[in-house]
Structure 1
Amino acid sequence: FFPHLLPRSLMATKQFLEEINKWTSQHGVSPLSWDVAVKFLMARKFDVLRAIELFHSYRETRLREGIVKLQPHEEPLRSELLSGKFTVLGVRDPSGASIALYTAKLHHPSKTGNHVVLQALFYLLDRAVESFETQRNGLVFIYDMAGSNYTNFELDLSKKILNLLKGAFPARLKKVLIVGAPVWFRVPYNLLSLLLKEKLRERVQMVKMSDLRQHLPRDCLPEHLGGCLSLDVHSWNLQLLSEQNGRVDPVDELVGIPLENTSIHVPGPEAMGLAELMAHLNRAQRSGIYLEYEELRREQPPGTFTCALAVHNQERNRYGDVLCLDQTRVRLKRSDYINASFMDGYKQKNAYIGTQGPLEKTYGDFWRMVWEQSVLVIVMTTRTDEGGRRKCGQYWPKEEGGQEVYGHIAVVNHRVDKQAHYNQTTLELHNTETFEQRQVTHFQFLSWPDYGVPSSALSLIDFLGAVKHQQQWAVQAFGSQWRGHPLGPPMVVHCSAGIGRTGTFCALDICLSQLQDVGTLNVCQTVRRMRAQRAFSIQTPEQYYFCHTAILEHAQRRGLLSTNQ
């Protein structure tokens, strides 16, 4: 709380929070804090409408550029932060503004992509504007081109930096000083200046090194720019990283990505009891539930697909239009990309990995992911072939006693137990690099047509129960080797594309877990949140409707809801 805010500013902050938190509650995002709200309002002189516009511009910029869940201690962001390319000086100008410095000669476009550069810029500027003094007095940005040549310059990156500063960052920008610009920069500068609004154009100036002290006193400038500051960027940024250790980035809330230490699937204000769910279904009928699904389907995924769309990764996607979001994708330790997404469960971070049916060329990647993520249970909700079409590769040895090697993981089939609607296979994995071994249970549900729904909802719910029982048993057997969430490592769930049957299975598990825990659920909210992690989860209105009816069938069988209710 800021006691030094004027009454008008306090009222503006309350109004801003009221409007923004309507949006956050609709999108399943943590409500905005007072401190973060003040930051946006300060940047727009407590004009509520302009601050709301800035908030959404900031969010959309971060999503568009894939700048979410910044991990400053992980590569390549750590190296970029320690490169000295960006820093915030430890002094302020005479008006109290913070001074940020970008050193162009340290940028090598052939080695570092724009994405990482922008991540570093966001991270450092976010840290700078946490200070109330910086929020109040603003920011001076020095674009230091001294000693740089054309190979250090990238027009697209410069455009993005200026666009960010001109209207997508919560800071009062006092001025941008482009220092020591080479002769060849004049043409790109003329292009860049055309992008700027007139008001900001006045604040962006090209300045000779010798004239810089007319804008900032010597004690505000580093030695290489004619000042008297001894600059040790590496040490300053290293200290910043050590302060960050264990700290949650508050702005991750703004981009609609859940914080690390909380699950997004928790009971919300719109949760329904069973009687309410039945009344909703009776009132809406199938057509109304289908319309509800269509509204969900029209919502754009809150993130980017840059990695999945990269030319060298496209052949690893089973379907060209089913991609995984950059923000939630599973990263392999070597080749990095696999079409798989982390998905939260009920009160559990990363309860599932939703993925496509493996292709022959990705078998090795699939088993490496299973090993790296300590997976104990794999759930397959498709047959390998359906309707004369290949839906999934035979990525495990099918017969008892069979064994195959996929990359550096050898897989042995120990036992197959055949049930009415599914097969349960016990597999033993051998890591040929570390000589470790683990047991994994593979479940294959056989009574679920592609794009359709199971003929019996209860058979799927029984299958789900068997899967959860096995996961629980396997976690206990894993013992002290597992130190994560008590419910264990993620379960891999896949069908063919990894969104339709996969999404339906996970939605049912989340809703039934909440029902068992607190007696309420919300299918719509669950699916919306799930689609924010595995884009396009639940592929058809029929699958969405099935989630509702399956829950009610389960409740009736358990005596939780009488048939005449």
Structure 2
Amino acid sequence: VEKGLTNRSEDIGQFLEEINKWTSQHGVSPLSWDVAVKFLMARKFDVLRAIELFHSYRETRLREGIVKLQPHEEPLRSELLSGKFTVLGVRDPSGASIALYTAKLHHPSKTGNHVVLQALFYLLDRAVESFETQRNGLVFIYDMAGSNYTNFELDLSKKILNLLKGAFPARLKKVLIVGAPVWFRVPYNLLSLLLKEKLRERVGIHTYMAIADLNLNQQRMSDLRQHLPRDCLPEHLGGCLPLDVHSWNLQLLSEQNGRVDPVDELVGIPLENTSIHVPGPEAMGLAELMAHLNRAQRSGIYLEYEELRREQPPGTFTCALAVHNQERNRYGDVLCLDQTRVRLKARRNERSDYINASFMDGYKQKNAYIGTQGPLEKTYGDFWRMVWEQSVLVIVMTTRTDEGGRRKCGQYWPKEEGGQEVYGHIAVVNHRVDKQAHYNQTTLELHNTETFEQRQVTHFQFLSWPDYGVPSSALSLIDFLGAVKHQQQWAVQAFGSQWRGHPLGPPMVVHCSAGIGRTGTFCALDICLSQLQDVGTLNVCQTVRRMRAQRAFSIQTPEQYYFCHTAILEHAQRRGLLSTNQ
């Protein structure tokens, strides 16, 4: 094996060189030799086709929201142990692995397509880690024996077959649809039309229709054995192999414990330890940033933003789009990703844990912020629950409640000194309001009426930032940011031993109206200036790309993106970090 791969080292090197140009641009860990071999073997060492497969695989996972697979967490763990999908403990005569999907175990009313696809990706990825499987390929059995129409979803079947068709790093040899009931003829014709151009030509698709009572016809079973001998088939498909659908899956889960999944690195969204904003290979010093801005001009920076804007969010919005949650979104087109959303703790008789809020990483800090929308009157209670549950000490509001005659955010806290309001089981008391030139700083005391605990929270409201626009003075916003960070630092110290997390404290809540434009700009500036202070470099583009992977659509306009660049340079010039002659 090693000798054969040595002879292919030039192909592997070429593949890694091309792909790792992409990974460095997107702040993702470089691909390993082993992963490169897997993609190349799937395309018989045709480098261009292997590169195409890599991006197809990555984009499919992003499109389906399969960003980080956590097999020990629900609902994926239960799906893996359901027996719906497994890899048989034998190989076919050519040495190919045999994967089995059992349609009758799928209940669409109980399990969404997203979870099924997560399990499929996870188990197929594990199967093709074997070099023998990479070399000899994969046979996929789509077992419909004993299933009925309520077990079938055309959309899920399309996604599975499309995945196998051209978006998975395995040499797919055959797809065998077996035990198909008579009602499957119509959907099969649709699937055949969809796939025949590529799947039929590439691997062949074989279907064995069942007789009316759904038992497999013996003559058809003999056809099936033309493709697989009896000792490679489960007993219920006419073979002699006892089917143990749990042992292989349980073994994989035990092996996975404590192990980082290398496949997650392919997706383009950094893993937990690399999603935090850290200096990357494309970081710029201040002189480089100024040169870049002078070279690109405003129009070039706008084009750079447009490229970011065209990138699709790397996840799904299933929970935000659920019918019973839609009224909790201020804007129907500003939703939070399932993968990063803040979940409210379960309470009796409550149907949903949803709030339109997303965890966002900061500079060298996991979950430094919670980016959220301006609370609606019906979500005031949810908002304060979140603040309490996440131990929030500072709230940053970058909007007024009303702008241009339109309501942008509810008055979710008692505005006047001495005012008191109760939101759900959290009572909020306004102790003090300090009015500055561009912002108000309000000291609030929270009382949990269920546990009788109390906690102090500081509310900052920046007043000089028009919706969709940028502040007239960048330095006023940076001064505001400085006041916010100073208060967070002081509050963490005062919190003392009650806080045992990151030294910089619990997440700060940051919101505007939608929770993406001004919110994203504020967070991007904080991240970039923190990196600048730490190591003297920054990267606005990388920062915004990573932010948008957690709070979708963060930074709403090209003007806000351009403002991040100019504000950093104004700050640097004021601090004497950059000469006006540069």
Question: Scaled by the length of structure 2, what TM-score is found?
Answer: 0.89
CA distance in 1, matches of 2:151, 2:261: 30
Larger mean CA deviation between 518-527 and 303-312 belongs to 303-312
**TM-align CA RMSD:** 2.6
Aligned-pair distance for 1:186?
2.6
SS of the residue aligned with 1:561?
coil
Native 8 Å contact 2:65 2:314 kept in 1: no
Question: Cα distance 1:117–1:273, how it changes in 2: closer, same or farther (>3 A)?
Answer: same
Native 8 Å contact 1:91 1:99 kept in 2: yes
Larger mean CA deviation between 38-47 and 517-526 belongs to 517-526
Native 8 Å contact 1:181 1:206 kept in 2: no
Question: Cα distance 1:463–1:195, how it changes in 2: closer, same or farther (>3 A)?
Answer: same
Larger mean CA deviation between 383-392 and 308-317 belongs to 308-317
Larger mean CA deviation between 483-492 and 128-137 belongs to 483-492
Native 8 Å contact 2:275 2:546 kept in 1: no
Aligned-pair distance for 1:517?
0.7
Aligned-pair distance for 1:7?
4.2
Larger mean CA deviation between 187-196 and 123-132 belongs to 187-196
Native 8 Å contact 2:528 2:539 kept in 1: yes
Aligned-pair distance for 1:16?
1.2
Native 8 Å contact 1:383 1:446 kept in 2: yes
Question: Cα distance 1:206–1:54, how it changes in 2: closer, same or farther (>3 A)?
Answer: farther
Larger mean CA deviation between 216-225 and 372-381 belongs to 216-225
In structure 2, the partner of 1:151 is 150
CA deviation profile, 1:435-456 (whole Å, cap 9, x unmatched): 4443322211122222222233
Aligned-pair distance for 1:383?
1.1
CA distance in 2, matches of 1:88, 1:264: 36
In structure 1, the partner of 2:35 is 36
In structure 1, the partner of 2:419 is 402
Larger mean CA deviation between 230-239 and 72-81 belongs to 230-239
Aligned-pair distance for 1:85?
0.9
SS of the residue aligned with 2:422?
strand
Aligned-pair distance for 1:172?
1.0
CA distance in 1, matches of 2:177, 2:562: 58
CA deviation profile, 1:246-272 (whole Å, cap 9, x unmatched): 222222222221101123522223322
CA distance in 2, matches of 1:116, 1:86: 12
Native 8 Å contact 1:103 1:145 kept in 2: yes
CA distance in 1, matches of 2:571, 2:399: 22
Question: Cα distance 1:288–1:192, how it changes in 2: closer, same or farther (>3 A)?
Answer: closer
Question: Cα distance 1:185–1:284, how it changes in 2: closer, same or farther (>3 A)?
Answer: closer
CA distance in 2, matches of 1:401, 1:231: 70
Percent identity over paired residues: 98
Aligned-pair distance for 1:130?
1.4
In structure 2, the partner of 1:411 is 428
CA distance in 2, matches of 1:17, 1:110: 43
Question: Cα distance 1:245–1:365, how it changes in 2: closer, same or farther (>3 A)?
Answer: farther
SS of the residue aligned with 2:225?
helix
Larger mean CA deviation between 76-85 and 416-425 belongs to 416-425
CA deviation profile, 1:313-351 (whole Å, cap 9, x unmatched): 332222233233333333334613322222221122222
Aligned-pair distance for 1:352?
1.4
Question: Cα distance 1:207–1:127, how it changes in 2: closer, same or farther (>3 A)?
Answer: farther
Native 8 Å contact 1:180 1:208 kept in 2: no
Native 8 Å contact 2:165 2:198 kept in 1: no
Question: Cα distance 1:482–1:258, how it changes in 2: closer, same or farther (>3 A)?
Answer: farther
CA distance in 2, matches of 1:199, 1:297: 32
CA deviation profile, 1:332-387 (whole Å, cap 9, x unmatched): 34613322222221122222121111111222222232233332221111111122
CA distance in 1, matches of 2:537, 2:90: 54
In structure 1, the partner of 2:17 is 18
Size of the alignment, in residue pairs? 560
Question: Cα distance 1:207–1:424, how it changes in 2: closer, same or farther (>3 A)?
Answer: farther
CA distance in 2, matches of 1:207, 1:503: 64
In structure 2, the partner of 1:124 is 123
Structure 1 residue 563 corresponds to structure 2 residue 580: yes
Structure 1 residue 268 corresponds to structure 2 residue 280: yes
CA distance in 2, matches of 1:536, 1:499: 6
SS of the residue aligned with 2:243?
coil
Question: Cα distance 1:148–1:401, how it changes in 2: closer, same or farther (>3 A)?
Answer: same
Native 8 Å contact 1:263 1:348 kept in 2: no
CA distance in 1, matches of 2:146, 2:295: 71
SS of the residue aligned with 1:487?
coil
Native 8 Å contact 2:25 2:282 kept in 1: no
Unmatched runs of 5 consecutive residues or more in structure 1? 1-5
Larger mean CA deviation between 102-111 and 214-223 belongs to 214-223
Question: Cα distance 1:229–1:345, how it changes in 2: closer, same or farther (>3 A)?
Answer: same
Question: Cα distance 1:151–1:52, how it changes in 2: closer, same or farther (>3 A)?
Answer: same
Native 8 Å contact 2:66 2:315 kept in 1: no
Native 8 Å contact 1:82 1:237 kept in 2: yes
Unmatched runs of 5 consecutive residues or more in structure 2? 204-216, 346-350
1:512 alignment partner, one of 495, 509, 529:
529
Question: Cα distance 1:562–1:57, how it changes in 2: closer, same or farther (>3 A)?
Answer: closer
Aligned-pair distance for 1:124?
0.9
Question: Cα distance 1:36–1:429, how it changes in 2: closer, same or farther (>3 A)?
Answer: farther
Aligned-pair distance for 1:391?
0.9
Native 8 Å contact 1:77 1:119 kept in 2: yes
Aligned-pair distance for 1:164?
1.1
SS of the residue aligned with 1:261?
coil
